[in-house]
Structure 1
């Protein structure tokens, strides 16, 4: 423990009490319920679940409430709780082709099989403050006819049928587990995608933006972005078949990029991929752009020195919990370290003033 001052435990206890008071706010206001947070702050909850690597809306809502809306603190709480849970098994790969899509768009074809589904999106709002919400005048929930979620074919499947989209090489039969094994570089794509799925959204957004501005030589199009419910299955050897044990909301993005081909491969498109839990489309798009930038070695492209192409830079700095811990530890007491630095600076100044390399001449401090 970094607390060196006498009475530190009492001060910490008082800080905890004060934090609880600040979290609750004025007592004359009703307390937020977890149901309200899950239903009305659903995008916050989705980010906490995605970067916390635990799909549970109730627990994520509790973390958001406990953290006073600080999403990185909430993610920290979820990650910590996750470590206490037993691991009962591994699910089969998600079949996102069977996703019941509530939102599904493509930027490369106007007319796609199954149609474009805008869904609930900010894309076409005016980005003006709606003061009616402040007055409590909100639209009542309504059932929109004809907009039920449906299975819709993949856009990438149609490109693949023409041979215009590069086939993905098979991954390992048992992918590495980023939550149980230390990071080893170079990392295969399965490990990179796991790390990116848990990565900080803002960090990925900045890296993705850099690729669009020319740092990485990738010019991506959103082949398909889909959000919806997907079944989670587990294989039971004793039964000889799989069963569905859960249904979660997920966001998937596939971007397509030009690829000039090689001696063994024709010119075709390549893809970047992003899949995250919950409704997190900005994160999924960013993830797919960074994933594509990191594939330069596998595709035989040049390393331009772009940040998004530097595997070690991306993977070792993307986790907001590690970054927060290392950043915030410097605000804890470092009295002994600073005293050593202080004495060193005084000795250097004395040497410069007197010309005595020992720093012990009259008037010097040692």
Structure 2
């Protein structure tokens, strides 16, 4: 029995030809194609600068460094996310805390954020950075988060790993109107792919320069940034402690080619979502809710089981779907319940909305090439899994 995965890449002949062209060129890395990919994404989103790296995790790391996150500082993010959204703080030696989620969108709750900020101000431990995570491709409600940033003095990194191609208040996610930096992922199951890869976008020239420096060992060939005159045309200086986080030309070529289809991909995901919404209407599940100001990129389609209306447990329903060849998944286990984070002092019960979500959530297959007959198989398997 073949399995229908929860997500998969779509690779065209044009994508293959683009990568082969790079393989036959003079540059496999640090050539002209990655800057072309950066410009394509920046122009699409309406941002001034885009810095490509080898993963969204790397983008989060250097975004934190560019914003001068240090030991003793605090970073806050959502507990319902991949661990990288929180780990980036620990990479910098900073402290991490979480803000509970909105029970309807599953994104970071603005109300909870506001309450937590007021308490933190009284305690003298306000965050230096807040990382709203655009779960499943739907933007957080960024305007009030930005207003809180202005009031309390923190910086904002949008973890939009799921959300390239999405929109907020009618403009593309990634334009950084309400944030300092936005981060995208181009992992194979995301909206577009560069195999592995990520990108940090910003409208701040100084931040862009710092991001570029940090992704490549902290090394510069720009005489204006050097501490003394170059010794010769070969000269470079390491002026900061950076990393080898560069994207290859092969990845950049795939990304450039995929960008040509990004709107078609998102449109197709919405067609699949509308059909899921219709077909699931009579089943004991809660379908994803969309915020009025957001147009989701729909990286994921997460349902929540109505456990009060079924006899099967969440675990058993999940296993039953997998046994029927439906490659469902879980996005995500609350970060604060991971063993590493428990050792930092976090306990179960600290973020009840996130934990309630985890007890009910299942990610159904969602990718642009999902056929209607496959979608019918998903619904049939789910109906059986919930009724047995």
TM-score range, shorter chain: under 0.3
Say which one has the larger Rg. 1
Question: TM-score of the superposition, structure 1-length normalised?
Answer: 0.25
Of structures 1 and 2, the one scoring higher in RCO (CA 8 A, sep 6+) is 2
Question: TM-score of the superposition, structure 2-length normalised?
Answer: 0.24
